[in-house]
Amino acid sequence: ISICRDLPNIEVITFSANDISDLEPLTQCQNLSELYLRKNNITSLNELFYLKNLPRLRVLWLSENPCCGSDPHRYRMTVLRNLPSLQKLDNQAVTEEELSQALVDGEEIMAPPATVENGCPESTESSAAESTTETESELLNFSLEETNKIREELGMKPVPRDKFSSFSPRETDCNRKKRNNVLNAILLLMKELDVEGLEIIQQTVGRRLQAFRKKELQEE
């Protein structure tokens, strides 16, 4: 959902069932009033830290995430203690009594969750990590050799190793997940556009595709 950093005026976001785990990009959405995050992969209620400074947030749907835990009362009280301006949480209206009780039963969130460097989990087993790295290196050498053989038969220039290294299995998996999240966000946001907005998107996509094709031809 990193695209949200560039959408400060968006008012409604629907990201349900998108394997989202990090809410930090939403800190820029100061006009956000409704946020739907049901069925994602938000593991810690500390992610609420990123929503605490959104002055217009009134509707939040966070149910069916790991952070909800096994105690629904504690979960709801913690959310309301940190987001007291909410009028509806998980499709249920917020009452004045709940807001008062949240000050007693809810947990105050003072800091964001701990982050993993580069957004990709690191292995806790050093030996396993080393073994995986060696395997990836062997696969990479084999793939590069095979690719260049095919390119040679087609009369194309060989791919330099420093360029081919960007296709290592581990990095590809991480980048694929990020790409899918961005793509889902774009598709969802396109539903909010009118004809003029869609035409702008179409023109921009056309220019980008032309630039990519031109670059590919130059490289070959």
CA distance 54 to 157: 52
Domain with 15, as residue range(s), is: 2-105
59 DSSP β-pair partners: 34, 88
The four Cα atoms 129, 132, 133, 135 give a dihedral, to 10 degrees, of: 160
Do the Cβ atoms of 72 and 12 come closer than 8 Å? Answer: no
pLDDT of amino acid 198: 77
Residue 42's SS3 state is coil
Q: What is the pLDDT of residues 166-200, one digit of tens each?
A: 344 444 455 555 566 666 666 666 666 778 777 77
Sign, CA dihedral 71-77-83-87, equals positive
Question: What are the tens digits of pLDDT across the range 33-89?
Answer: 999 999 899 999 999 999 999 999 999 999 999 999 999 999 999 999 999 999 999
Residue 91 in any domain: the answer is yes
Domains of the chain: total: 1
Amino acid letter for position 137:
S
Residue 183 maps to a domain: no
Taking CB atoms within 8 Å and a gap of at least 24, the contacts of 140-144 are 140/164, 140/165, 140/167, 140/168, 143/167
Closest CA to 2 of 21, 25, 20: 25
CA 47 to chain centre: 13
Residue 168 in tokens:
């290592």
For residue 45, tell me if it sits in a domain.
Answer: yes
Q: Taking the model in full, what pTM does it have?
A: 0.54
Helix axes 96-105, 72-82, angle to 10 degrees: 100
Confidence (pLDDT) at 122: 44
202 in any annotated domain: no
Residue with the larger pLDDT of the pair 119 and 198: 198
Distance CA 157, CA 184 (A): 35
pLDDT tens, residue by residue, 73-118: 999 999 999 999 999 999 899 999 999 999 999 999 988 887 544 4
| Residue 94 maps to a domain | yes
Q: Is residue 191 part of a domain?
A: no
Q: Residue with structure tokens 């800190």?
A: 27
Token output for 172: 């590809």
Q: What is the C-alpha to C-alpha distance for residues 2 and 24, in angstroms, rounded to an integer?
A: 8
Taking 70 as the threshold, does the pLDDT of residue 129 lie above it?
A: no
Residue 29 sits in a domain whose CATH number is 3.80.10.10
Angle 64-69-75 from CA coordinates, rounded to 5°: 90
Residue 199 vs residues 39, 87, 190, 194, 205: alpha-carbon distances, Å: 32, 36, 11, 9, 10
In a domain, 7, yes or no: yes
Residue 62 forms part of a structural domain: yes
